[in-house]
Amino acid sequence: MVFESFTSAQAYMLWGTFALAVVLGAVVNKTNFCTMGAVSDWVNMGDTGRLRSWGFAIAIALLGVIGLEYFGLVDPNQAFPPYRAGQLVWAENLFGGILFGIGMTLASGCGNKVLIRVGGGNLKAVMVVLVIAVIAYFMVNPFPNSDQTLFTLLFYDWLRPLAVTLKGSQDLGTLIAGSENAVTARLAIGGVLGLFLLVLVFKSTDFRSRFDNVLGGLVVGLAVLGAWYLTSNLNIGMDGEQYSLRDYAQQWDFLADSPEGKPADTRPLSAQSFTFINPMGQTLGYASEGFNPAYLTFGAMALFGVVVGSFLWALLSRSFRFEWFASFRDFLNHFFGAALMGFGGVLAMGCTIGQGITGVSTLAIGSFIALGGIVLGSALTMKVQYYRMVYEGEASLGSALVAALVDFRLLPKGMRRLEAV
């Protein structure tokens, strides 16, 4: 898609993003697609229906992205955030993922689900979004009159030295076949993984019989794929040349006639798809700048779209209702959960959608590590909560955690102090 001006191309991207997000928000609300709920169903009841729906979404996005990339229609190598970066920040991916998993369990949902609840009238979710937004913003932006961010103050010195610098991209195709054959290798690897996921998902009769699980996974996967395609195929034609949005913005002073309309940051103009933690920080930045269009990004429009889509479905289904905290303890759980999601989501470079689907669709190693951390953090938190509930407060946090780790075969049975439940 070639446009005559940067303004028209950017507007197409922003409104196209909004439209995709509205559909995403409405369908997620309708089908109760929830990654935290999926882990909860699996850990507490052995029900894998929503987990398979998540896997279905991953398979669709993965097969779509590696297919489109093979034909030159998507370029995840230039994505924002840089999933395939040559520096593998595995410790940040893992630790951030675990923090995020713990946080989303305490706060009753991942980044996307929190936005769905905002659209449905949940005032608890509004507080969660605000806390995440403040932390996510200052994780990447310096404090006033300072050059320090929350990341540099709290995490950089002990996590970043653990990063591994690779010779090329960190995706599986490049690591296995080298840069020259990476595209073909990604097609083969992604094809095998995607088809394996589809078989694993659809072999369950129970999953196939639940329309909402199938619909939720289908639409989420297609929305992620659609956003990748949209943001990868916007160009400005000028004097016989074509420039991507990001390239044009980076050469603004040479290509544009005036500074009017110049974006504040060129990175959010790269190819990308849905993720929801860092965009909460971007949206806060947009609001703090008086809603200056220069600060309006893909992420902010995605956030608005999901909330609107959820709100519309809540009205149509007559499920809209206001909800507040049941107790002060409920407030604390959501507050601390939101804080952990803000820290963890930025460290892990994404949430259950941002890394679990969008990132995994690029076959980036860091995305798989972050996804594993999120599932581990959430599952352990649920197990600990369950043990403490069964033992009615008699079990300490430490003994409940040890029991949970034993249940997941991460510690030997001899360390258990509580009977299995």
Domain boundaries, the chain: 2-390
Whole-model pTM? 0.95
Per-residue pLDDT of the chain (421 residues; tens, 9 = 90+): 888 889 999 999 999 999 999 999 999 999 999 888 888 888 888 888 889 999 999 999 999 999 999 999 999 998 999 999 999 999 999 999 999 999 999 998 888 999 999 999 999 999 999 999 999 999 999 999 999 999 999 999 999 999 999 999 999 999 999 999 999 999 999 999 999 999 999 998 888 888 999 999 999 999 999 999 999 999 998 878 898 999 989 999 888 878 888 999 999 999 999 999 999 999 999 999 999 999 999 999 999 999 999 999 999 999 999 999 999 999 999 999 999 999 999 999 999 999 999 999 999 999 999 999 999 999 999 999 888 888 876 788 888 888 889 988 888 988 888 888 7
A 10 A CB-CB count for 132 gives 31
Measured CA to CA in angstroms, residue 103 lies from 96, 193, 301, 341 at distances of 10, 29, 24, 5
pLDDT recorded at residue 97: 97
